[in-house]
Chain A
Amino acid sequence: MDQSQIAEVVERYLKGEMDSQEKQAFEEARKNNPELDQAVVEYHFFFEEMVRYGEVRRFKSNLYDTHHTLQENGEIKELQLTAGTRIINMWNKYRRVVAVAASIAGITTLFISGMITLFSPNRPIRDIEELRRKVSNLEKQSNNQTAEIKNFKSKIEPGADVKFGGTSFLIDQKGYLVTSAHVLKGANRIYVQSNDGVDYLAEIVKEDLNTDIAILKITDEEFKGNKQLPYGLGKSRNELAEPVFTMGYPKDEIVYNEGYLSAKSGLQGDTMSFQITISANPGNSGGPVFNKNGEIIGILNARQASASGVVFATKAKYIQTLVDEIKNSDKEENIRVKTVSTLKGISKPEQAKKVQDHIYMVKVVLS
Chain B
Amino acid sequence: MWVTKNPLRVLKKRIVASQDQELAVFRAIGNNDKSAIESVYSENYALIQHFVISNNGTEDDARDIFQEAMMVLYEKARQQDFELTCQIRTYLYSVCRRLWLKKLQYARRMETQVENFDKLVPVEEDLEDHDKLTLQYQTMRTAMGKIGEPCKSLIEAFYVHRKNMHEIAGYFGYTNADNAKNQKYKCLVRLKKLFFAQYKNA
Interface residues of A (CB under 8 A from B): 3-5, 7-8, 11, 42-43, 46, 49-60, 62-67, 69-70, 75-76, 78-79, 81, 85, 89, 92-93, 95-96, 141, 145, 155, 157, 189, 224, 227
Contact of B185 among A7, A46, A55 (CB under 8 A): A7
Any A CB within 8 A of the CB of B32: yes
**Contact across chains for B71 and A59 when beta carbons are under 8 A apart:** yes
Picked from A70, A78, A89, the residue with its CB within 8 Å of the CB of B56 is A89
Check if B60 is an interface residue, CB within 8 A of chain A.
yes
Q: Judge whether B71 and A92 touch: CB under 8 Å.
A: no
User: Which of B15-23, B35-43, B166-174 participates in binding chain A?
Assistant: B35-43
Contact A93/B109 with A53-B160, A63-B37 known, Cβ cut-off 8 Å: yes
- Identify which of A46, A63, A93 gathers the most chain B CB atoms within 10 Å of its CB: A63
- A42 and B56 contact, CB distance less than 8 A: no
Q: Which residues of A contact B63 (CB under 8 A)?
A: 67, 224
Q: Complex: how many Å from CA A46 to CA B194?
A: 11
Contact of A49 with B136 in the complex, beta carbons under 8 Å: yes
Q: How far is the CA of A54 from the CA of B141 in the complex (A)?
A: 10
Select one of A54, A65, A76, A155 contacting B159, CB under 8 A.
A54
Q: Which of B60, B140, B188, B189 contacts A49 (CB 8 A)?
A: B140
* A49 in contact with B195 given A67-B63, A93-B56 (CB within 8 Å): yes
Which A residues touch B188, using CB under 8 A?
Answer: 4, 7, 11
The answer to whether A59 touches B159 (Cβ under 8 A) is no
Given A69-B38, A70-B41, A92-B109, A43-B185 contact (CB < 8 Å): no
Least CB separation from A70: chain B residue: B42
- Contacting A at CB under 8 A, from B145-161, are 145-146, 148-149, 155-156, 159-160
Can you list 30 contacts pairing A with B, beta carbon distance less than 8 Å? A4-B182, A5-B185, A8-B181, A42-B192, A43-B192, A46-B195, A46-B196, A49-B139, A49-B140, A49-B195, A50-B140, A50-B159, A53-B137, A54-B159, A56-B137, A59-B74, A67-B63, A67-B67, A76-B45, A79-B50, A79-B53, A79-B62, A81-B54, A89-B54, A89-B56, A92-B109, A92-B110, A157-B146, A157-B148, A224-B60
In the assembled complex, which residues on chain A have CB atoms less than 8 Å from the CB atom of B196? 42, 46
B64 contact set on A, CB distance < 8 A: 224
* Docked pose: A70 CA to B67 CA in angstroms: 14
Known A76-B45, A96-B110; further 13 A-B contacts with Cβ < 8 A? A3-B189, A46-B196, A49-B136, A49-B195, A53-B159, A56-B71, A57-B156, A59-B32, A59-B71, A67-B67, A79-B49, A92-B109, A145-B108
Measured CA separation A75–B44 after assembly (Å): 11
Complex: chain B residue closest to A50, CB-CB: B159
Tell whether, in the assembled complex, residue A75 and residue B42 are in contact, meaning their CB atoms are under 8 Å apart. Answer: yes
Cβ 8 A contact of A60, one of B71, B109, B146, B159: B71
In the complex, are the beta carbons of A63 and B70 less than 8 A apart? yes
Known interface pairs A7-B188, A58-B160; A78-B59 also in contact (CB < 8 Å): yes
A-B contact count (CB 8 A): 114
> B201 at interface (Cβ–Cβ under 8 A)?
no
Instruction: Please tell me if the beta carbons of B159 and A51 are within 8 angstroms of each other in the complex.
Output: yes
| Number of interface residues, chain B, beta carbon within 8 A | 50
Cβ of B112 < 8 Å from any Cβ of A? Answer: yes
* A7 contacts across to B, CB distance below 8 A: 185, 188-189, 192
B186 interface residue (CB < 8 Å to A): yes
Majority SS at the chain B contact face: helix
Q: Could you say which of A43, A57, A62, A96 contacts B37, with CB atoms under 8 Å apart?
A: A62
B interface residue numbers (CB < 8 A to A)? 32, 34, 37-38, 41-42, 45-46, 49-50, 53-54, 56, 59-60, 62-64, 67, 70-71, 74, 108-110, 112, 136-137, 139-141, 144-146, 148-149, 155-156, 159-160, 162, 181-182, 185-186, 188-189, 192, 195-196
Residue of B nearest to A57 (CB): B160
Q: Which 10 A-B pairs have the closest CB atoms?
A: A4-B185, A54-B159, A53-B140, A54-B160, A3-B189, A7-B185, A66-B41, A4-B186, A57-B160, A79-B53
Question: Complex formed: what's the CA distance from A4 to B64 in Å?
Answer: 40
The CA of A355 and the CA of B126, in the complex, are separated in Å by: 41
Q: Which chain B residues lie closer than 8 Å to A51 at the CB level?
A: 159
Residues of the B chain whose Cβ atoms lie less than 8 Å from the Cβ of A55: 32
A42 to B46, CA, bound (A): 44
Query: In the complex, which residues of chain A have a beta carbon less than 8 angstroms from the beta carbon of B146?
Result: 157
CB distance from B81 to the nearest CB of A (A): 17
CB of B50 to closest CB in A, whole Å:
6
- Given A4-B186, A155-B145, the answer on whether A85 and B54 have CB atoms closer than 8 Å is yes
Q: Which residue of A lies closest to B141 (CB)?
A: A53
Contact of B38 among A50, A66, A85, A95 (CB under 8 A): A66
> Would you give the shortest CB distance from A189 to chain B, in whole angstroms?
7
Q: B64's closest neighbor in chain A, by CB?
A: A224
B48 to chain A, nearest CB (A): 11
- In the assembled complex, which residues on chain A have CB atoms less than 8 Å from the CB atom of B54? 81, 85, 89
Q: Residue A76 contacts which of B49, B141, B185 (CB distance < 8 angstroms)?
A: B49
